[in-house]
């Protein structure tokens, strides 16, 4: 059976300029968009 998901640690949370409700979240070298205050390092 193939593994479709895994749990990873968040490396960084960075603000997005001019965005009130979004932040950049870095996981495994990828930069993803998340809700402000939703994720923590």
Q: What does the pLDDT profile of the chain (41 residues) look like in tens digits?
A: 888 999 999 999 999 999 999 999 999 999 999 999 999 99
Spatial distance between the Cα atoms of 9 and 12, rounded to a whole number of angstroms = 9
pLDDT given at position 1: 82
User: Model-level pTM?
Assistant: 0.75
pLDDT given at position 41: 93
pLDDT given at position 26: 97
pLDDT given at position 31: 96
pLDDT given at position 14: 96
Q: E strand or H helix at 24, and its extent?
A: strand 22-27
Spatial distance between the Cα atoms of 11 and 18, rounded to a whole number of angstroms = 22
């Amino acid at each position: 059976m193939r593994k479709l998901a895994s749990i990873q640690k968040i490396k960084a949370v960075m603000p997005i300029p001019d965005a009130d409700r979004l932040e950049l979240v870095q996981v495994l070298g990828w930069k993803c968009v998340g809700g402000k205050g939703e994720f923590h390092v």
